[in-house]
Amino acid sequence: MSLFGNKPKFCDETLTCRICGKPFVYPAEQQEFFAAKGVTAKPTTCPECKKAQKVNADAEKKQLLQQALRDPSVRKYYRCSWCGKTFTVTAAPAYWERMCQRSGASPCPLCNPELWKLPPFAEDLQLNKALGLPK
């Protein structure tokens, strides 16, 4: 498409946001930055919509946590295989169970703090703290 020969490698490009449908500029510096990382896919959402999406996702997580705090029926409790204390996993209980089955252990946040720093359990760590678990 370079009919004029000396087109620069990267130049500002106008893309259309798939959420709001408005055009937005994909700056040459960003294209260069991502190309250097080997990313060739172009952004599909404008910076405003991307920011709004992030805010929504955070709000959803917070809501889930609050719901779990209010409503004990959405919580699933587990017994630590090391100390026998009770704790809860709400973010990804199926994932937790699969992981415990494979490793043969179900460690509470006190017994395996490193594991509990990882997503998705980091949020459950907050929940366990808020509930005063494990104890």
**Binding of Zn ion by 49 (CB under 5 A):** yes
**Binding of Zn ion by 17 (CB under 5 A):** yes
- Rank residues 63 and 101 by Cβ distance to Zn ion and give the closer one: 101
Hey, which bits of 86-135 come out as E strands?
A: 86-89
What would the x/- binding string for Zn ion be over residues 50 to 79, using CB under 5 A? ------------------------------
CA 31 to chain centre: 24
Strand (E) or helix (H) holding 84: none
Q: Which of 89, 53, 80 is nearest to 135 (CA)?
A: 80
The helix/strand/coil state of 56 is: helix
- Closest distance of CB 5 from Zn ion, Å: 35
Q: Which residues bind Zn ion (CB under 5 A)?
A: 17, 19-20, 46, 49, 80, 82-83, 85, 108, 111
